Amino acid sequence: MADTTTAEAPSESGGAAAPAPAVELFKIELRIKRFDPERDTKPHWESYQVEMEGTDRVLDALHEVKYHHDGTLSLRRSCAHGVCGSDAMVINGANALACTMLIKDAGKIVTVEPIRGLPVIKDLVVDMEPFFAQYRSVMPFLINESDPGYTERYQSSEDRERFDDTTKCILCAACTTSCPVYWGNSSYVGPAAIVNAHRFIFDSRDEGAADRLDILNEKSGVWRCRTAFNCSEACPREIKVTQAIEEVKRAILYDRV
Ligand code: SF4
Ligand code: FES
């Protein structure tokens, strides 16, 4: 959070410096769903009044609470720039990354909850293992037994284009944990795993498409998707998640990659 005092800005002429304009701070109320398994039997809401700038992010407001109001608040974050995917949470009722949502867009009353459908470990920290187990189940790596020799495995721009969108996934879990089918049945492999299967199924260098399609054709696979579109709306990388799921369904139906 910035200081409100004015600073001396250097003048171009080298003369007397003009005071830089003061940064406007305003109060927001942060309502955070808290849960401490050592003290609580169920989650409860706690409110904090913090002073922020409009261009601060929700993550900055959470840091303000943790560093200056209540050090027991637990949350995950790493890069703070929308790259690592670790701070997906439910902000004002919708999945978002706390590090990319600006306070001016979040409003003066901001609610923050853990992502849904995964067990809460403490406060905003959930157990991601069920999510990563689904991810691992689709073999999200290049499968090719042939020896490339001393060259690279070449690929045309057109072939690369087929899976370009799904390479952008940062495994934040926003899509899977916004999916009503996943809330109701955690054995569903979920949108993120399908996105990451898509990334390899449509890669012309890969030879594991048939195995992945067999996995996704099982009862916990793509056919559980009811095309609710929550996943595409939740994705902070704007990946066309529903479209990727549809492409995988068509590849299974028509035996064509
Ligand atoms: S597809 Fe989008 S929402 Fe889903 S895990 Fe990847 S980046 Fe996150
Ligand atoms: S902290 Fe890395 S994506 Fe937000």
Strand segments, DSSP code E, in the chain are 26-34, 44-52, 88-91, 94-97, 109-113, 120-122, 125-126
Pair 113, 46: CB distance under 8 Å: no
Q: Is 237 in the pocket of ligand 2 (CB under 6 A)?
A: no
Query: Which ligand 2 atom minimizes the distance to the CA of 85?
Result: 3
Q: Which of 83, 101, 128 to mutate to test the pocket of ligand 2 (most atoms within 8 A of CB)?
A: 83
State the pLDDT at residue 2.
42
State the pairing for strand pair 109-113/26-34. parallel
State the pLDDT at residue 148.
86
State the pLDDT at residue 221.
97
Q: Is the pLDDT of residue 126 over 60?
A: yes
Q: Is 54 in the pocket of ligand 2 (CB under 6 A)?
A: no
| pLDDT 10s digits, 177-204 | 999 999 999 899 999 999 999 999 999 9
Q: Which of 60, 62, 63, 79 to mutate to test the pocket of ligand 2 (most atoms within 8 A of CB)?
A: 79
State the pLDDT at residue 23.
79
Q: For the chain, give the mean pLDDT.
A: 93
CA atoms within 13 A on the CB side of 126: 23
State the pLDDT at residue 99.
98
Query: Which ligand 1 atom minimizes the distance to the CA of 168?
Result: 7
State the pLDDT at residue 1.
46
Q: Express as a percent the part of the chain with pLDDT over 70.
A: 94
| pLDDT 10s digits, 74-97 | 999 999 999 999 999 999 999 999
| pLDDT 10s digits, 140-182 | 999 999 998 889 899 999 999 999 999 999 999 999 999 999 9
Query: Which ligand 2 atom minimizes the distance to the CA of 97?
Result: 4
Q: Is 134 in the pocket of ligand 2 (CB under 6 A)?
A: no
Pair 26, 108: CB distance under 8 Å: yes
Is residue 14 very low, low, confident or very high in pLDDT (cuts 50, 70, 90)? Answer: low
Is residue 19 very low, low, confident or very high in pLDDT (cuts 50, 70, 90)? Answer: confident
Q: Is 171 in the pocket of ligand 1 (CB under 6 A)?
A: yes
State the pLDDT at residue 13.
53
Q: Is the pLDDT of residue 8 over 70?
A: no
Q: Is 239 in the pocket of ligand 1 (CB under 6 A)?
A: yes
Q: DSSP 3-state assignment of 193?
A: helix
How far, in Å, from the CA of 51 to the mean position of ligand 1? 31
Q: What is the mean predicted confidence (pLDDT) over 57-64?
A: 98
Three-state SS for 31-65 is: EEEECCCCCCCCCEEEEEEEEECCCCEHHHHHHHH
State the pLDDT at residue 21.
74
Q: Is the pLDDT of residue 256 over 80?
A: no
Q: Which residues is 45 bridged to in the sheet?
A: 33
Is residue 50 very low, low, confident or very high in pLDDT (cuts 50, 70, 90)? Answer: very high
Q: CA 58 to CA 255: how far, in whole Å?
A: 45
State the DSSP code for 27.
E
Q: CA 109 to CA 102: how far, in whole Å?
A: 13
State the pLDDT at residue 12.
52
Ligand nearest to C-alpha 199: 1
Q: Is 193 in the pocket of ligand 1 (CB under 6 A)?
A: no
State the pLDDT at residue 15.
60
Q: Is 106 in the pocket of ligand 1 (CB under 6 A)?
A: no
How far, in Å, from the CA of 109 to the mean position of ligand 1? 26
Q: DSSP 3-state assignment of 242?
A: helix
Nearest alpha carbon, ligand 1 atom 3: 235
Q: Is the pLDDT of residue 18 over 60?
A: yes
State the pLDDT at residue 255.
83
Pair 169, 236: CB distance under 8 Å: no
